[in-house]
Every structure is written in C-alpha cells, then in structure tokens.
Amino acid sequence: MGYRNVDFPDGLTWINTDKPLHMDDLKGHVVLLDFWTYCCINCIHILPDLKYLEKKYADQPFVVIGVHSPKFLNEREEANVRSAVHRYRIEHPVVMDNEHRLWTAYGVRAWPTFVLLDAKGDVIGRVSGEGQRDFLDESIHQALSDAKRNGVLTAEKLSIRLDPLPERELHFPGKIDIDEQGRRLFISNSNNHQILIVQLLDSSRGKLLDTIGNGLPGFTDGDFNRAGFRQPQGVAYDKGKLYIADTENHALRVADLETGQVKTLAGVGEQGYVRDYSGDPLNVALSSPWDVVVDNGMLYIAMAGNHQIWKLDLKKNRIESYAGNGVENIVDGPARNAALAQPSGLSLAGSRLYFADSEVSGLRYVDLDDNRVGTLVGQGLFVFGHRDGELDQALLQHPLGLDVEGNMLYIADTYNHAIRVIDLRERQIFTLIHRAEHTVCRIDDEDCNILPLFEPNDVGVFEGKLYIADTNNHLIRVFDLKTRELTDLIIT
C-alpha cells in the first residue's frame, strides 16, 4: 500500500494510557490499528488473536492501538467503552473514534478491520474479519525484520501505563436463572469464570450456597472447585442439573448439583464456523453460545457467533443447527432460511421460543410447532433507539436478555440501560425502569436517589419480583412489580 498514516486528532478520548498518543510517539514502532466496536461479536472473537500477538512480540517495538468506532449511540459514552475495555481485559491503548474520523481516513468499511503500519509510519497492510491471526503474525514479523535491517527500528519500546483492572467478588454478572421450587438463583459470574448458586432468603437477601468453577479461565471438567470455565454466560436449571453456555470456550457444559460434577456436553473448546450440522455434540466446534433454555429434554442455544439458534436433544445426545442461515440480518420465514443477528437471550413460553436479537435491536421468536421465525420488534441492523407504543413502531437498543410470564415479556434493553415490557396480548411495549437523562442532580430529585441500571444483561421474574443482572454495576438488582421499588440483592 505504502501511503502515510493519519495522525490521531486532538481532543479524542483515550483509555488505557495516561496521555493521548500521536504518531510521533510511535516512530520506529510497528503499529497495528484494530478498528472495533464493543457490541460486535466478531470484534470479541479476535481479542484472543490480539492477546497472542501482544504476548509474542512483547519484547519488541510492536504496539496495538484499538480504534473504537461505534455502531450504537450507547457506545459513544466513555464510561461504557471503559467498562467494555475492563470486561474484555484489553491490554492496549484504545482511542474513541466517535465521529468515525479515523475510520473514514483509513477507508474502513467493516468491523473488525486491521491496519498495519511499518516503523516509518507507512500503511503496509489492511485486512478485515475473523481468522486473520496467522496473516497478521507473518506481516508483523516481516515488518519488524525489515525495520531492523533498514535501521529504522527504535531501540526503546514506548512505555504505556494501562488502567488498573478492578477485581470484584461479583464481576460483570451476565445471565441468571431461577429454580422456583428450591428458591435458588443461579448467576453467571462471567469475569470470574464461575457460576454462583444463591439461596433466596427474601427479596433483598441471598445466601451463597456454592460456587461452580475454580475462578481461573480454563476448560476443565471435574468437581465444582476444579472445573474451569471461560466467560460463561447463559444458565438454565432443570431437574437437578444446570446447563451452562461456556461462551469463550465455545462449549456447552452441565453441572450436576447432586454429584457436584461438571462435564462438557458439546463443543471442542475452540471456535468454529460451522453453520449446517447435525450429529455428535462433542465433534463440532461451536461459536460463542450466549444463552440456553431447556424444556422436556431439549436444550436450545443462542449461538451468537453464528447468528443462529441450535438445539441439543439431551436424550438422543444429538446437536443440530436449527434456526438461521448464518447471514447476519433480520429476515423472517422458515427457520432454516431466516436470518438472525447475534441472538443473545432466550425465553420459552409454550410453543414459542423468544429471543433477543441484539444486532438488529430486535425481539423475535421461533414458533416451535411450525418451525418459523417471526419478529415482534426490530427493523434492521442500523435501526435502534428507545420508543414505546405499538410494536411495529417500537425501538430497542441492543437488548441481551428476556423472560416471559403469562402475557408479559420482560426485556433487558441493554444499551438503553432499561427494562422494557411487551404486553403480548395488546401488542404494546412500555418502559418499566429507565435511566434518567441527568447530568446534574438536585437535592430533591428522586431520580438521583437510586443507582440507575448500567447495561443490564438479563432479567428473570419470580414471585412478583424482577431479578436483574445489572452487569456493569456488578450487582443483582430486584424490582418489585407492585411497589415499583428497585433494590440490591445482598449476597452473604
């Protein structure tokens, strides 16, 4: 390519560095620009590749710069991006390209896109999409070798001070499920790579009964204190067993609550790109299973990475792709021909499997009787917002979780920091909990009395209460549907 880099404009917000960076600071370095946005499953998939490259070239003048060019309005807020950087443990500087100035200057058209600069500051490569680790590795190695041979490689690598990563007992809780008979709450404690089992004492207190997982990222079966998970998300309880979407292991696991043992049900521990499969669940590579729900021996899986819904017949031990052709879009029709867009939450009611289709800001369903996909809310990949009323005009913003009780469908409208409700009979949507648009609080302002939700990822209804995974606040919240009081669940 051989054209010069574009400097980082003044006034942009930087994360993971104590000062803004400029191209002059990076002279003599090979630089990889990663254009990403934190909603994007493909951008999440390439983070292990970046970690691999950063570790391999840790002692050489090679620097990764994340250029966060947002899709959603919510992704323009510094606190939200900073939280995503912490959540995914990103260990390189990130610059917020809210107006897409760098995106446009470098001719970027898709997430993720990588732009490689040599030690002289010239653009020597650009590639988009997943599966580029080997190509990038070879290109970086060659660029470093060329720079050393030509005498333009810096002798001292730029020192960058990263933001500290906070550690918490409850760290980015992702999904929840409730054992109504046993009054137990199951929480995917995602960033601690564990599942928590909590006895509900009352609506505001819970007692920690057990922890599933050793707390370190890994992929190991065995007893609860030995088993290893990696960023688990969805959990579904049924008849003494807890089914787990082990998201970043690209696997499905099951925890037997009577024997205290964990075993792998499906997946090989690595990401795959299979869109059409029927067969042995332990012989196929899955792609970011994000949620699960179980009914009468059938486990349904929101396969976010493939933009599909799969199902695992637990009796026959057979897994198959079920709904979605793998193309990221919003198209209704026969299940196998329909197009989904990063399904991330599931709830089953009768013959309807409802799902949060996050990248089209949609709420959709599969009719299990006639195997067809339909849409309640959602209009396209770039149509989103916050609008109540008739479903055909309603807008959500990247919802991730949901639960159904009777005619009411409760939605974790994640990027609106809200809980929304659809009346299925009246075909209306309204906002139950919202985040007040305040920058300054008055002493008598009731909106400022309660901590607002911060990107809630899931919701479950039980005994007139909503249990909410308030993910970026690192809390489980409880909302009383009668008194409209929002409180924290205190876990002891």
Q: pLDDT, tens digit, for every residue of 89-128?
A: 999 999 999 999 999 999 999 999 999 999 999 999 999 9
Which string of DSSP letters, residue by residue, matches 14-25? Answer: EESSSS---GGG
Q: How confident is the model at residue 2 (pLDDT cuts 50, 70, 90)?
A: low
pLDDT of 433 above 60: yes
**Residue appearing with tokens 């720079």:** 147
Least confident of 21-25, 238-242, 444-448: 444-448
pLDDT of residue 67: 98
- CA-to-CA distance for 209 and 211, rounded, in angstroms? 7
d(CA 318, CA 266): 9
The residue that leads in pLDDT, 450 or 134, is: 134
Eight-state DSSP code of residue 298: E
Query: What pLDDT, in 10s, does the model give residues 256-289?
Result: 999 999 999 999 999 999 999 999 999 999 999 9
pLDDT at 443: 62
Q: What average pLDDT does the segment 205-215 reach? A: 98
401 neighbors 457 (Cβ within 8 angstroms): yes
Q: How far is CA 104 from the centre of its chain?
A: 26
| Residue from 265, 288, 263, 327 nearest 48 by CA | 288
Indicate the burial class of 322 (C-beta count within 10 angstroms; 0-12, 13-18, 19 or more).
buried
Distances (CA, A) of 187 to 38, 165, 177, 275: 23, 22, 7, 29
Of the pLDDT bands very low, low, confident and very high (cuts 50, 70, 90), residue 62 is very high
Q: Residue 448 has what pLDDT? A: 67
Average pLDDT over residues 408-424: 98
Q: Which domains does the chain have, with CATH numbers?
A: 3-149 (3.40.30.10), 173-491 (2.120.10.30)
Closest CA to 206 of 184, 235, 190, 181: 184
Say whether pLDDT at 438 is over 60: no
The pLDDT assigned to 132 comes to 97
Q: How confident is the model at residue 374 (pLDDT cuts 50, 70, 90)?
A: very high
Task: Please report how many Cα atoms fall inside a 13 Å half-sphere around the Cα of residue 220, on the Cβ side.
Answer: 16
Place of tokens 């949609």: 362
Phi, psi of 473 (to 5 degrees): -90, -5
Asked if 188 and 175 touch (Cβ cutoff 8 Å), the reply is yes
What is the rounded average pLDDT for all residues in the chain? 96
Comparison of pLDDT for 435 and 240, the residue scoring more: 240
pLDDT in tens, 66-90: 999 999 999 999 999 999 999 999 9
Confidence of residue 405 (pLDDT cuts 50, 70, 90): very high
What's the pLDDT at 5?
Answer: 86
Distance, in Å, from the CA atom of 411 to the CA atom of 430, rounded to the nearest integer, reads 10
Q: Is a pLDDT exceeding 80 seen at residue 234? A: yes
Share of the chain above pLDDT 70, in %: 97
Residue 10 has a pLDDT of 96
Is the sign of the CA dihedral 277, 278, 284, 288 positive or negative? Answer: positive
